[in-house]
Amino acid sequence: MIMGMFKGLGVAMITPFTADRSVDIEGLKRLTNHLIAGGVDYLVVLGTTGESVVLDADEKSLVLETVLEVNQGRLPVVLGVGGNDTAKVCREASACASKGIQGLLSVSPYYNKPSQAGIYEHYKSLAGSTDIPIILYNVPGRTSSNMLPETTLRLAHDFPGICAIKEASGNIEQVMRIIDGKPNDFLVISGDDALTLPMLACGADGVISVVANAFPEQFSKVIANGRGKDLDTARKFHYQLLEITNLLFAEGNPAGIKEVAQILGICDNYLRLPLVNVSPTTSAKMKEVIALKALSSSLQ
> In whole angstroms, what is the distance from residue 165 CA to residue 150 CA?
13
- The CA distance from 210 to 31, in Å, is 13
56 near 23, Cβ under 8 Å?
A: no
The letter for the amino acid at 25 is: I
What is each CA distance from 285 to 238, 256, 261, in whole angstroms? Answer: 19, 11, 14
Q: pLDDT digits over 69-114, tens only?
A: 999 999 999 999 999 999 999 999 999 988 999 999 999 999 999 9
Give the residue ranges of DSSP H helices in the chain. 2-5, 25-37, 57-71, 86-94, 116-127, 140-143, 149-158, 172-181, 196-202, 216-227, 231-248, 255-263, 280-292
Cα-Cα-Cα-Cα torsion 79, 85, 87, 89, nearest 10 degrees, comes to 0
- Residue 192 CA to residue 21 CA, distance in Å, equals 28
Interacting residues of 84 by C-beta distance below 8 A, sequence separation 6+: 109, 110, 111, 112
Q: What is the 3-state secondary structure (H, E, C) of 256-294?
A: HHHHHHHHCCCCCCCCCCCCCCCCHHHHHHHHHHHHHCC
Is 137 assigned a catalytic role? yes
The CATH number corresponding to 2-228 among 3.40.50.620, 3.40.50.970, 3.30.1600.10, 3.20.20.70 equals 3.20.20.70
Catalytic residue, candidates 120, 123, 166, 221: 166
DSSP lists the bridge partners of residue 93 as: none
At residue 298, does pLDDT exceed 50? no
What residues have CB less than 8 Å from 143, skipping those under 6 apart?
A: 107, 108, 109, 110, 111
For residues 191 and 188, give the distance between their C-alpha atoms in angstroms, rounded to a whole number. 10
In the predicted model, is pLDDT for residue 297 greater than 60?
Answer: no
pLDDT in tens, 12-56: 999 999 999 999 999 999 999 999 999 999 999 999 999 999 999
pTM (two decimals) = 0.96
Q: Where are the domains of the chain?
A: 2-228
Q: What is the pLDDT of residue 89?
A: 97
Q: Is 258 exposed, middle or buried (0-12, 13-18, 19+ CB in 10 A)?
A: buried
Choosing from 137, 182, 221, 258, the catalytic residue is 137
Question: Are 190 and 222 a contacting pair, CB within 8 Å?
Answer: no
Chain-wide mean pLDDT for the chain? 95
